[in-house]
Amino acid sequence: MATTAHTSRSRRAGRRSPLASGALLLIGLLATGGAYTAFTAGSSAGAASETQVTKLTEEGEKLFAANCASCHGLEAQGTEDGPTLIGVGAAAVDFQVGTGRMPMAANGPQAEQKPVQFTEEQIAALAAWVATLGPGPAIPDDRYLAGDGDLAAGAELFRINCAMCHNVAGAGGALTEGKFAPGLMGVSSKHIYEAMITGPQNMPVFNDANITPEDKSAIITYLKYLENNPSPGGYELGSLGPVSEGLFVWIFALGGIVAITVWLTAKSN
């Protein structure tokens, strides 16, 4: 452009084209603009993801207002029907909504598992919004969920900390007044970890000072081992111990013995 201006207007304006200053300004602007763009490329990407996060939390807030606020309050401050969610963290939301426990169908002894009501993106949005309300446990890192921890240590920790409620084989068990500790077979590693760190409902909290992330990973390893390895003794009968096993023995073993005794003493025809 500068060359064109020079050739057309050079005789009248002498050495300098009247458009030269404009052209210079343009070049300068382009150069600084380009440099600025080059320098700030990285930060503009950050700005874009920030917008995404804002979008996520905004969506989460909307979903919350539509689905959760009637019990937990519009600001998640809690009402008579539901506890406050300030400071419960993303892990609590991911566990409660991700296992279908929330939203609750009806008030009962405890929220029960049911088909998950939201998509993964929606759960992530809800979790992201609740996480902005106050500091709380985050969704666990994938490296603790692979199930490659110390199996024996995990089994010992499970027996000490978990087995009294969840049964030594993770089959679950009864608590008081209609409450129960659910079975742990088939529960995803992420949800097991989140349950330990958030203590859903009547389950106590096992924070990282009590059971370190490595120990939690070991416990998950043990549970996954139980899940993937059948009992060497044959059918587990629900792993419920003396109740189901006793019932089986009383009905089938004693029944068989009675039948054989009757046959032994009956006269041949």
Partner 1 sequence: MAGTDGAEPGTAVERHEQAPLPSGVAVISDDRVENPGFPPYRPRVSDTDPVKERQNERRIFWLFLASMAGSVFAVVAYIVFPIHEGDMESVRLNNMLLGLGFTLGLLGIGFGAVHWSKSLMDGHDLVELRHETRGKPETVARAAEVFTLGNKESGFTRRKLIRNGLLGALVLAPLSAVVIFRDFAPAEDPVKLLKHTLWDKGVRLARDPNGVPIKASDVTIGSVFHVIPENLHESSHPLEEKAKAAVLLMRLKPEELQVSEGREDWNYNGIVAYSKICTHVGCPVALYERQTHHLLCPCHQSQFDITREAAVIFGPAKRPLPQLPITVDEEGYLVARSDFQEPVGPSFWERSL
Residues that bind partner 1 (CB under 8 A): 156-157, 160-161, 164-165, 173, 175-176, 179, 181, 199, 201-207, 209-210, 229-234, 263-264, 267-269
Whichever of 113 and 201 has its CB closer to partner 1, that residue is: 201
Q: Tell whether omega for the bond before 103 is within 30 degrees of 0, i.e. cis.
A: yes
Whichever of 33 and 230 has its CB closer to partner 1, that residue is: 230
Whichever of 66 and 209 has its CB closer to partner 1, that residue is: 209
Rounded Cα distance, 186 and 80, in Å: 34
Shortest separation between residue 167's beta carbon and partner 1, angstroms: 10
Burial of 119 (0-12, 13-18, 19+ CB in 10 A): exposed
Whichever of 14 and 242 has its CB closer to partner 1, that residue is: 242
Shortest separation between residue 103's beta carbon and partner 1, angstroms: 19
Shortest separation between residue 148's beta carbon and partner 1, angstroms: 16
Rounded Cα distance, 217 and 141, in Å: 10
Shortest separation between residue 110's beta carbon and partner 1, angstroms: 9
- Residues near 53 by beta carbon (within 8 Å), at least 6 away in sequence: 128
CB hemisphere CA count around 192 (13 angstroms): 27
Rounded Cα distance, 172 and 192, in Å: 13
Shortest separation between residue 52's beta carbon and partner 1, angstroms: 32
Q: Say how many C-beta atoms besides its own lie within 10 A of residue 97's C-beta.
A: 23
Whichever of 118 and 180 has its CB closer to partner 1, that residue is: 180
Both tokens of residue 54?
């804002």
